[in-house]
Structure 1
Amino acid sequence: MFDHDEDDFPFQHGDDEMTIGRKDEGLTVRQALAELAVKGAISTDLRKSLIKGELRSIVLVVPSAEWTNMAGGAVEDIHDRIYAFCKASGKKEAEDASAINKALAAGRTVVAVTPSVRTLPAIFKTVASETIEVPPPSAALVAQLVRRFSVGRLPSSFSRLDTSVLDFDELCGLVEKGADAAVTAERIANAISAKTRTARVGETLPDLEVAVEFGDARLWAIDLKQDLSDIKAGIIGWSEVDKGCVLHGPPGTGKTTYARALGQYLGIPVVIGSVSELFACSAGYLDSVIKAQRALFERAMQQAPAVLFLDEIDQMPDLDQISQRGKDWWSPVVADFLQLLDSAVSDRDGLIVIGATNRVEALAPACLRPGRLERSIYLGPPDETGAARVLRHHLGPSLADADLSPMASICSARRMTGADIMDLVRSAKRLARREKREMSLSDLTARLVPPYELTEAQRSRVALHEAGHAAIAALHFPDRLVSVSIDPFGGGIASGGHVRVEIPDDLLETKSDLDRRVEMLLAGRAAEIAFLGEASSGSGGSETSDLGLAMRMLAAAHLSFGTADAPRWRCEPERAMDMLRLDPRTMSQVETELAKLAASAIDLVRSRRSEIETLAGELLSRSTLSAAEVLTIVRKGESASTNLVSRRFESNESTLPWTESA
């Protein structure tokens, strides 16, 4: 791993540095590491003041609990009059205060050694003269330790290692007395790599630099990486960095994968836990749950800078929403959790806390206030570009030259999550593996769009339905129309066809704009009614159907966008349908608007009868039409295939066995 240069590792021994064979010959590795770290943190002037007894008390903040006792021993070795106070588990604060006062009364200098000042007795707030921080061991400090106990040269590349990610016991376990320095360096480098590697064996995590499937969460990661770079450059401090957010969205959208990918992207460890796990890994009693959550935060703090990922954070209840009996039990747990969260984002630099939930509306508001988890980021199913990336990621080297855009369009239209797409690829690979052959595009297609046969009447109805969508899209959104097809490859779940209209993400729409989009969605159903006398089931059945999408848009207009008659905001657009089901009055208003727009769509379709018949005839002949071809037909009002289409639409078939979406 290392390149061995001719020059020695560029750290020089000081005149007073202890080496094997001199007065530290009896020191263990643990004692030597603690001595080096404490010596590096305490300045010469402060050391002299401690020796002379000029200071009553100081606080020494160590990197983690593992450092406490050994650092305390190193402090006491400075002079006999120094008393190191290391918080002992189980002791009451009154007993601690008594021991401290006894030492002070005897004229000794008290040095409180702790990984967190918030755990110290209150007496230190009044008697402590200074607070000194012992930083995590740098490569320079570890080099001194290795050279003290090893033989041979250290490679110069050792200086580039981030030894701060290793805790006290980990470092001591890697340094062996009398071992070759290069071997020890290799061992340390491997340990650092193992601890910071967030991908599992054989796994490749997404690169957040380009992983557009993560949406706004990706942009947050990019900003965070720049902030960490600015910290290293000394441009900003940790107080200026976002150190907390909540990821929310439906199950399977990759929240945990994102957290691990974030750790890889930032080059820092990731500690993964969940609120429900706090109960599973403890006896379930109040004190054991509190101990479990403290241990989780402490484990993350010991590895800082690090990411702490807390799944199912909505399981930490909102105290205002539970019964008094439940509140009596939960209050200490929630209070302790919020205190830990405050410590993670305020008192302890370097810890980035990410909460995850499928139900952001159930999350206690206290978690989201500034200073705790400051941002709420939606992580939903990927769009077409993101779906193509997820497909490619899970396919790996398979189908390297295949065009995945049609399948990505299907995945996006169905609102398939990353987990859904992973399962799709896995099942396609399994099909090829069991037949002992290489995977083909048809394997993926067979899993994504199961084959089915249409009767002539059914195909005619699908053509008419899509022609209705296309004609109204050409009238309302001529610049956004892309294509229309009766080929199921590219539509929704078992779709009979689809119209592709691109709506910009940054588009600002009025209620009139939304109404036109709803008319376009309802135009397929309207064409069936206007031409065949009644609609089929192809317009409804799922949340991504024509009716499902239309209802969602109108619900968002009333409950999120503020474009309806009564201005209000109840939720984010993605949650509008859930909120609508709980609001009968608004539901009635939305259904009334939907009925009016459905009637308007029928009138509009009837006014374009000849163009729609022509479009349907062309679709029956060619399956797919481009935007230019649709616009030409609609604008010229051609009716060359009117008679043919009308004859082919004479059918009593009024229901279809699939769900149709625009």
Structure 2
Amino acid sequence: MSLLLFAIIGISQLLPGAVVPVDYSTFISQVNEGQLKEVKAYPNGSYMTLTGLSAQDDKETKTVMLTETYRTLVEGNNELAAKVTLREPMGTGGILAQIAPFFSMMLTVGLLFFFISFMRRSRDQTPKSAANFGKSKARLVNPENNHVDFSQVAGAEEEKFELMEVVDFLKEPGKYQKLGAKIPKGLLMVGYPGTGKTLLARAVAGEAGVPFYTISGSDFVEMFVGVGASRVRDLFEQAKRNAPCIIFLDEIDAVGRQRGTGFGGGHDEREQTLNQLLVEMDGFEENQGIVVMAATNRADVLDPALLRPGRFDRQIHIDLPDSRGREEILKIHTRNKPLGDDVNLSIIAKTTTGFSGAELENLANEAALLAARETNTYISMAHFEEARTKVQLGPEKKSRVQTEESKYLTAYHEAGHAIVARSLPTIDPVTEISIIPRGRAGGYTMHIPLEDTSYTSRTSLMDDLATLFGGRCAEKLILNDISTGAKSDIDRASMIARAMVKEYGMSDVIGNLSFGDSEEVFLGRDMGRQQPYSEAMGDLIDQEVKNLVDSAYNKAEEILRNEIDKLHLVAQSLLAKETLQAYEFEALFSEGKLPEGLSEVEARRANEKVLEEHGRRKRESLELLRKASN
């Protein structure tokens, strides 16, 4: 404040408008007594300002404003007239011109005061901000705020069994210490996105009743050097103070990728953060009560040092749920939703093969939204079926304008897919065909797997290829032309055929060899892209891929030529109805006509019967294939 006071005093001395004015009589007396050696008169409209120059120290003294003219002022006063010099007018500012110096002074003082306050505040806060920058961003969930336990996790029974050991250790560590057992320091959960890795970690903390620290791998790394390592140290210091507890590192591949690869070298900030994480996981003692859990869907790019015993001792692979698991997950996500009497969660589970837990949750929510949109008081089976199609393919676009030619082409394209699929024993049943656009597709033929399989045979892959080419073959046969509508089919077929040759060893010419591509630099592996085979082998691979594709195309063409009448029948029915359900397509294929007069419930039962019959027929066909091979 003393500095501010001195500044105000100094400014007041420099500003001419800050001099104390004198009255007119005193001013005239000073002129007559010779105290002022010069007087300047500044006319300003109806006012006039006089300024006198002191004879002793040359300081100016300003008077009050006068309501007199210059002529009236000097008339009869020769002493004053001799000393007064008439100046240019000061302007037309009036009173504003007089108070402007005051506001100028106040503005200067205000800016000075703001600058001093800002500097003082910055000085007080800068040390705290610098210290907080290196603090961990982990979010702490206390036991009383964690309401997740294993009862809210379904479809992962084996994984829960593995994790119960950790829960038991956190509750009763003495039982393990007596036997000299060491609980794993780290557990790495590996699985597809949406399989419940984060949910399982929270459930472990909820079951054990311990603090839960959660942070993403990307939260460690900043643009400033050393921040990531500092946050790792701070996280483990907090955990030690709150032991027993769980540290959960989500998407650990963001910070745990293999070192010494890609760009940046050994001085890369991410690598320094990883080094500190490795040191910290070695630093705390066994049975200290700190368990580190991490989740990733790219375990193949993690640094080997991170996966060695003593750090992440145990890997838990979380697979997509099977039919039973999907049903249990649906029960959890529909227990607070009013369901109609026709809803069968078992059937929904069987027709959602490949769905993760997150996708099933989204399915249940979409069904509820559809029911609410129709102002229904409950969710019906039809809502679940529409939600499933919407999740897989996107919303319907009935308002999109389509030409008759486009509808005609789409109808035969989709009918070609369906006819080829129905004629091959290993292909999953056709559950719906439509020429109504959904998402980016102009139409679709939907297949739903009836069983969960962990592998696929060569016969099944070749049938998949033939089914993909069913649409292109139908276009060529009926229209004697081809369109761009088969682009996605060709892309998928090329990918499958190349994988059969290069990865699965399914080429009779090349044999049981794998030619996997080199890893990309940004996935944490090789800097350059190199093919692990010669140019001649590359040509042979390309030829074998083409042979597989041509063989599948010829197979699809043969089927459609033999079933040309059914192709026309299905396509014309699509043009008339736009959408065919499973039982309608099966009736057209088997009986040559559409069923009539079925209610919604009867149609659903007919669909279920078609799926059951297809499953029986598929099992019989596969049994015949096995007998023929023997």
TM norm structure 2? 0.51
Q: Secondary structure at the match of 1:486?
A: strand
Name the amino acid aligned to 1:255.
K
Quick one: distance in 1 between partners of 2:151 and 2:371?
28
Unmatched 5+ stretches in structure 1? 1-193, 637-662
Please tell me whether residue 259 in structure 1 is matched to residue 211 in structure 2.
no
Please tell me whether residue 374 in structure 1 is matched to residue 313 in structure 2.
yes
Q: Once the 2 structures are TM-superposed, how far is the Cα of residue 320 of structure 1 from its aligned partner?
A: 1.1
Please tell me whether residue 395 in structure 1 is matched to residue 334 in structure 2.
yes
> 1:610 and 1:444, CA in 2 relative to 1: closer, same or farther beyond 3 A?
same
- The Cα offsets for residues 631-661 of structure 1, whole Å up to 9 and x where unpaired, read as 879999xxxxxxxxxxxxxxxxxxxxxxxxx
Partner of 2:103: none
> 1:396 and 1:375, CA in 2 relative to 1: closer, same or farther beyond 3 A?
same
Residues 592-603 of structure 1 aligned to structure 2 (within 5 Å)? 592-603=543-554
Quick one: distance in 2 between partners of 1:272 and 1:426?
26
Residues 247-646 of structure 1 aligned to structure 2 (within 5 Å)? 247-249=189-191, 251-266=193-208, 268-279=210-221, 284=224, 286=226, 289-316=228-255, 318-321=258-261, 327=267, 333-344=273-284, 347-379=286-318, 386-400=325-339, 401=341, 402-404=343-345, 412=353, 417-426=356-365, 428-430=367-369, 438-441=377-380, 442-448=382-388, 449=390, 450-451=395-396, 455=407, 458-472=410-424, 474=425, 477=426, 483-487=429-433, 496-502=444-450, 505-507=453-455, 512-513=458-459, 515-516=461-462, 518-519=464-465, 521-522=467-468, 524-525=470-471, 528=474, 531-532=477-478, 533=480, 541=488, 547-548=491-492, 551-552=495-496, 554-555=498-499, 558-559=502-503, 565=511, 567-568=513-514, 592-609=543-560, 612=563, 619=586, 620=588, 621=594, 625-626=610-611, 628=613
Quick one: distance in 2 between partners of 1:608 and 1:631?
22
Name the amino acid aligned to 1:528.
A
- The Cα offsets for residues 56-94 of structure 1, whole Å up to 9 and x where unpaired, read as xxxxxxxxxxxxxxxxxxxxxxxxxxxxxxxxxxxxxxx
Quick one: distance in 2 between partners of 1:384 and 1:539?
32
Contact 1:276-1:315 within 8 A present in 2 as well: yes
Q: Secondary structure at the match of 1:354?
A: strand
Identity, in percent, stands at 20
Q: Once the 2 structures are TM-superposed, how far is the Cα of residue 372 of structure 1 from its aligned partner?
A: 1.3
Q: Once the 2 structures are TM-superposed, how far is the Cα of residue 300 of structure 1 from its aligned partner?
A: 3.0
Quick one: distance in 1 between partners of 2:484 and 2:316?
36
- Work out which of the residue numbers 154, 170, 175 in structure 2 matches 1:211: 154
State how many pairs are aligned.
417
Quick one: distance in 1 between partners of 2:506 and 2:265?
39
Residues 124-135 of structure 1 aligned to structure 2 (within 5 Å)? none
Quick one: distance in 2 between partners of 1:464 and 1:440?
34
> 1:244 and 1:557, CA in 2 relative to 1: closer, same or farther beyond 3 A?
farther
> 1:538 and 1:634, CA in 2 relative to 1: closer, same or farther beyond 3 A?
farther
- The Cα offsets for residues 112-168 of structure 1, whole Å up to 9 and x where unpaired, read as xxxxxxxxxxxxxxxxxxxxxxxxxxxxxxxxxxxxxxxxxxxxxxxxxxxxxxxxx
> 1:505 and 1:579, CA in 2 relative to 1: closer, same or farther beyond 3 A?
farther
Contact 2:262-2:525 within 8 A present in 1 as well: no
Residues 155-166 of structure 1 aligned to structure 2 (within 5 Å)? none
Partner of 1:85: none
Q: Once the 2 structures are TM-superposed, how far is the Cα of residue 352 of structure 1 from its aligned partner?
A: 2.6
Quick one: distance in 2 between partners of 1:561 and 1:219?
36
Q: Once the 2 structures are TM-superposed, how far is the Cα of residue 468 of structure 1 from its aligned partner?
A: 0.5
Quick one: distance in 1 between partners of 2:163 and 2:619?
46
Q: Once the 2 structures are TM-superposed, how far is the Cα of residue 329 of structure 1 from its aligned partner?
A: 5.4
Q: Once the 2 structures are TM-superposed, how far is the Cα of residue 339 of structure 1 from its aligned partner?
A: 1.3
Larger Rg: 2
Quick one: distance in 2 between partners of 1:358 and 1:630?
33
Q: Secondary structure at the match of 1:565?
A: coil
Quick one: distance in 2 between partners of 1:524 and 1:578?
40
- The Cα offsets for residues 545-579 of structure 1, whole Å up to 9 and x where unpaired, read as 68537725753763478997363485999xxx999
Quick one: distance in 1 between partners of 2:267 and 2:502?
35
> 1:599 and 1:465, CA in 2 relative to 1: closer, same or farther beyond 3 A?
same
Q: Secondary structure at the match of 2:310?
A: coil
Contact 1:466-1:486 within 8 A present in 2 as well: no
> 1:246 and 1:584, CA in 2 relative to 1: closer, same or farther beyond 3 A?
same
Quick one: distance in 2 between partners of 1:293 and 1:265?
26
Unmatched 5+ stretches in structure 2? 1-140, 570-584, 589-593, 596-605, 622-630
- The Cα offsets for residues 414-446 of structure 1, whole Å up to 9 and x where unpaired, read as x6x544554554455456557765353355555
- Work out which of the residue numbers 174, 187, 192 in structure 2 matches 1:245: 187
TM norm structure 1? 0.49
Name the amino acid aligned to 1:340.
E
Name the amino acid aligned to 2:377.
E
Contact 1:247-1:379 within 8 A present in 2 as well: yes
Quick one: distance in 1 between partners of 2:347 and 2:614?
20
Contact 1:558-1:566 within 8 A present in 2 as well: no
Quick one: distance in 2 between partners of 1:630 and 1:523?
23
255-264 vs 239-248, which moves further: 239-248
Q: Secondary structure at the match of 1:245?
A: strand
Q: Secondary structure at the match of 2:511?
A: coil
- The Cα offsets for residues 467-526 of structure 1, whole Å up to 9 and x where unpaired, read as 202322x1xx4xxx663333469x99776333444565455x66x456545445546347
Quick one: distance in 1 between partners of 2:249 and 2:366?
30
Taking only aligned residues, the RMSD between alpha carbons, in angstroms, comes to 5.2
